[in-house]
Amino acid sequence: MQNWFNFEGKKSKMKNTPILLLCIFFSCWVLPTLYAQTEGISIPDTSRIEKVNVFGGVSPSKPVDMVVDDTQSSSVAYNTPLHEPLPAPDWTLKCNPVILARGEVPVYLEHKLNTSWSTEAAIGITFRDMIKDDVLQEKPLFQKDPNADVLSGLCGKIALRYFPGHHACSDFYFSPELDYTSYRKDITGVYMGSDGQYVKGKLRDEQQYADFRFQVGWQNSDALDSDFSFDWFLGAGIRLGSENNVEPDERNANVIVLNHANVVTPVIALGVKIGLGLKE
C-alpha cells in the first residue's frame, strides 16, 4: 500500500473523501514538517579546544587562560549537530496504515545490506477495497453489500533501496519495486447460465494487478530516539492487470454479467510506514 492510492483515470465526485484525504495529508506532510523543524540545531564543537596559560609557566596570583582552537584561529566551529543519528538496525519490521483504505494488510521486512543498500519485502492479505467499492461508487463508507461475500486475496512486494548519503535505513533513498495485489469476492444474483437459461447463483468477481514503480522516500530510525522509525515515500509507475468484474447487465439491471478486461494504467504511490527495529 503500500503503499498508497492508485489513480486509474476514473471520474468521480468522491463525496466521501474529504476526511480521508485530510488524514493522509496530515500523516504524510504535517508530521514530517514539524519534525524537520527540529533538525539542524547545533552546538559548539569544543573537543579540539585547548587552554594555554599566557604566562608560560609563571604562576601569578590570578592566572589568565587563553582559548586556542587548532581548527580555526579566531572562532569556534558551530557545525556539530546536537546529536548524531543512531545506527539503523539490520532488520526493520513495518506496517503501512494508509493502505488499509485499499483493503491491504501487508507486513514489511527491511534488511540493511551495507551502508548504502537495503532490501525490503512484504506479504499479506487483502479484503474489500473501500476506495474502489465505496468512494469511486459514491456509496457510504463501511456499508456492507448484502449480495457480496468478500474473500481474502494476496498482496506482496519486493524492492531494492539505494541511500546516496550512505546511511542505509536512516536517510533519503531511491527505490525500484515490484508490487502484486489481488482482490476476490462472490456476487449473488441472477445471470444467464451456459444453457442459455437464467439462474440465481454466485459469480466470482476478481482482480489481479502487478505494479512496477520507482519511489523516492525518507526514512529515519532515530525520530523518537528509540527502535521506532518512520518511512515516508512517494512513487509512480505503471500497472498491468487482469479484471473479471461482475456488473449489472446494460439491458437488464436485474441481471448480472461477468466482464473481462486487461488493464494498463499509470499508478501513484503515497504513504508512510511505521517500523520497529529488530536487533540481532
Divide the 280 residues of the chain into consecutive groups of 10 and give the mean pLDDT of each group. 43 46 49 45 48 47 49 44 62 93 94 95 94 78 83 96 92 96 95 90 96 95 68 97 94 92 95 86
Grid coordinates in use for 154?
Answer: 494476496
End-to-end CA distance of the chain: 28
Largest interatomic CA distance in the chain:
115
**Cβ count within 10 A of residue 96:** 24
CB-based contacts of 175: which residues, under 8 Å, 6+ apart?
120, 159, 160, 161, 162, 214, 215, 216, 217, 233, 235
pLDDT at 5: 43
Name the grid cell of 132.
Answer: 474502489
Residue 126 in 3-state DSSP?
strand
The pLDDT of residue 85 is 54
Domain boundaries, the chain: 18-36+68-278
Q: Give the C-alpha separation, 185 to 187, whole Å.
A: 7
Strand, helix or coil for residue 116: coil
> Which are the contacts of 80, defined by CB distance < 8 A and separation ≥ 6?
42, 43, 44, 45
The Cα-based distances of 111 to 15, 84, 131, 136, 271 in angstroms read: 41, 22, 31, 37, 20
Question: Which class is domain 18-36+68-278?
Answer: mainly beta
Q: Are 68 and 49 in contact (CB under 8 A)?
A: yes
- Go through 195-215 and write b for each residue having 16 or more CB atoms within 10 A of its CB, e for each that does not: eeeeeeebbebbbbbebebeb
pTM over 0.75: no
3 state DSSP class of 250: coil
Say which amino acid occupies 244. N
C-alpha 4/C-alpha 24 separation (Å) is 10
- Whole-number Å distance between alpha carbons of 227 and 229: 7
